[in-house]
A and B are shown apart, each in its own frame.
Chain A
Amino acid sequence: MSRRVHFMNWSRTTALSVAAIVCLTMAGDACAELIPTPNFSDHDIPSTRVVEAPSVVWNAVDVGVLLVALSLASYFALVVRSRKYLLWLSVASLLWFGFWRRGCVCPIGATQNVTLATFDGTYVVPISVVAFFVLPLIFTVFFGRTFCASVCPLGAVQELVSVRNVRVPRWLDQALSVIPYVYLGLAVTLAATGTAFVICRYDPFVGFFRLSGNASMMIYGGSLLVVGFFVGRPYCRYLCPYGALLRLTSRVSQWHLRIPPTACIQCRLCEDACPYGAIEEPTESPSVEQLQRERKRLVVLLFMTPFIVGLFAWAATGWRGTLAGWHFDIRLAEALKQEDLGLATEPNTATEAFRGSRRSPEQLYEAAATHRDRFAIAASLLGAYIGLVLWGKVILLTLRRGRQEYTPNKSHCVSCGRCFQHCPVELVRIGLIDNVEQMTHETHEVAT
């Protein structure tokens, strides 16, 4: 105590630097000898004031809103068949989940929480987050991607700006639509290893929802919106990892939206209606010989699958360094080693802080080594998965099936309802025209 009192009386200009030197030259623990908090005659020592956190009830409310929105979206898309209602609902979802709840939590990001919880028993995943992940998938298995139609705030933003309809060439569309699966694999790998939540880090629109964000985020989101002006829903079609899951689920959906309310009359009026390239035209059903040939080809392709997958798994072992580079402990261990070897050029707050902590470098190196081993396995698994995705795409492209109608492609259709009003059968249903010929005649006259 006396040392402190003396110290207080020293010359003012040197006091601070001396304090620094005294404390820094003594090993950390010596500094634990603190200046006691005084007892005042008539002044109570206040308590730190902290502000209460928003109630967890909001989480339950969110799940409720999600359920209602999903039900309404499915009802509007499949029963009412109203583009207008779907659009208003998406505006409402955008306001609620986007601007009011500021973009968190969303099913796309929840994929990572659920993954991490699966692989790391110590990680706590709130039950509401699990609900956000599972509910849209369950709705999709029955009604198609009605979640994308008007519940997802990211989808809603893009839906609202999608005003021009530039057709993406089929081959390019097919190639780009593989990206979401790869992105999903990467995000799951990084989440499972406790490395990062990349989906959240590269969420394009969350900056808009919060009306703040760093420049690169805003540029990324802004350019996606500009692209989305001409090419419908670029994030949904070529990036969204949850969309990849929804596509798989929607493929087997029970009551997916149809373009005509009853039988398709093949007037071709809806052919170009979908800005998302999801409408497929009728095709001849293959002949018996064709079918036999295709079946043989399918057997060959299926037989090749394990080899392709194995090849990718093997090739992917090279990625483990890149993947591991995302992990904090591994980066820190590397920086520490560099410094010890005298190769480091810049001072590093992380290593500085680490040297001041109680963890020993040996502990860190050991942890880093364990993580590296894990990444070796993770990289191969990711490679195998990507191989499977690519090969699966190839197989699907070679399969042909006969279609009698203009149908939305169940995996790519987001149930937005834009095509409805292009269909004369639908227009008759809602009473806008008396019979289909009123529309089909016109086009035939133009055609001839």
Chain B
Amino acid sequence: MSSVPTDYPIASNREQQLQERRKFLQNGLRISGVLAAGTFGGFLAGRRGKAEATRWQIDPDKCVGCNNCATQCVLAESAVKCLQCFDMCGYCDVCTGYFSMNYLSLDTAAESQMCPTGAIARQFIEEKAGQRFFEYTIDESLCIGCGKCVKGCALMNGSLYLQVMHDRCVNCNECAIAVSCPTQAFDRLPANRPYRVKQSVYPLIQQKAAIPERDDARQLLREVSPP
């Protein structure tokens, strides 16, 4: 051990006293810290009644389809997609959500369509009293959530609306779209009922869910938070 310096200071009496005092102080701090954390946690857990997990949703009654949803999401392909609320749709021939303002003909040509990605399918259903009715369905895998069709549809029934899709959304602690949403349409819903529909539609879904063979409506109702 010759080469190992042995002349390092040995703790003196005074030093020991100081260390004792420091230890006492630290113990005190530690105990009060844990107690404080416990009390604080208890205080927050005291509101446990509502301490469930949450999910981001758009309030479709507030959204104006501004295009932020397509560009501001942290995901390259936005978690927000357009949804068709069929119970509100007029099945119009001249759909203001489907056709662009300067469409050439009422057909499915790309240049006639509002949707930049051709995500809306137009399907003929029936002709009644000289009126032709069409069903418009969104292909979610194509939709980029730009809101063009939503804006267009708002001129008529407003059955098309944007919503956060939970299979895509990573539930950011602070939703990047919510920050930039000009109408502050985003809020958090309880995770067990993570979807929101337009206020006026909720009773319609309820009615439909009461029909025995409408399992689809009942399934939707289970996912939707009451307004």
Contact = CB atoms under 8 A, between A and B. Distances in A.
A11 to B, nearest CB: 11
Contacts, number: 225
Given A50-B223, A124-B188, A35 B92 contact: yes
A112 to B, nearest CB: 7
Contact of B37 (A19, A138, A288, A350): A138
Nearest to A17: B101
Contacts of A402: 9, 15, 18
Nearest to A444: B3
A196 interface: yes
Interface in A1-59: 5, 8, 12, 15-17, 19-20, 23-24, 34-38, 40-41, 43, 45-54, 56, 59
A253 B33 CA distance: 11
A114 B36 CA distance: 14
Contact of B195 (A50, A254, A350, A401): A50
A356 B34 contact: no
B116 to A, nearest CB: 17
A282 interface: yes
Interface in B57-88: 62, 64, 66, 74-76, 83-88
A314 B195 CA distance: 47
Interface in A48-105: 48-54, 56, 59, 102, 104-105
A212 B183 contact: no
A40 B90 contact: no
Contacts of B75: 210, 212
A252 B29 contact: yes
Contact of B220 (A23, A47, A117, A440): A47
Interface in B32-53: 33-34, 37, 40-41, 43-45, 47-48, 50-53
A125 interface: yes
A223 interface: no
B44 A19 contact: no
Nearest to A106: B173
A19 B156 contact: yes
Interface string A208-232: 0010111000000000000000000
A126 interface: yes
12 contacts: A8-B92, A35-B90, A41-B126, A48-B85, A50-B83, A50-B224, A53-B194, A127-B52, A130-B45, A201-B174, A201-B179, A437-B3
Given A19-B96, A201-B179, 18 more contacts: A8-B93, A16-B94, A20-B96, A35-B156, A38-B90, A38-B133, A43-B125, A47-B214, A48-B197, A50-B163, A50-B165, A50-B220, A53-B166, A53-B191, A121-B47, A125-B51, A285-B9, A353-B64
Query: Closest 5 CB pairs between A and B?
Result: A35-B90, A53-B166, A350-B182, A197-B174, A51-B167
Interface of B: 1, 3-5, 8-12, 14-15, 18, 26, 29-30, 33-34, 37, 40-41, 43-45, 47-48, 50-55, 62, 64, 66, 74-76, 83-94, 96, 99, 101, 103, 105-106, 125-126, 128, 131, 133, 135, 137, 155-158, 163, 165-167, 170-174, 176, 179, 182-184, 188, 190-192, 194-195, 197, 205, 208, 214, 216-217, 219-220, 223-224
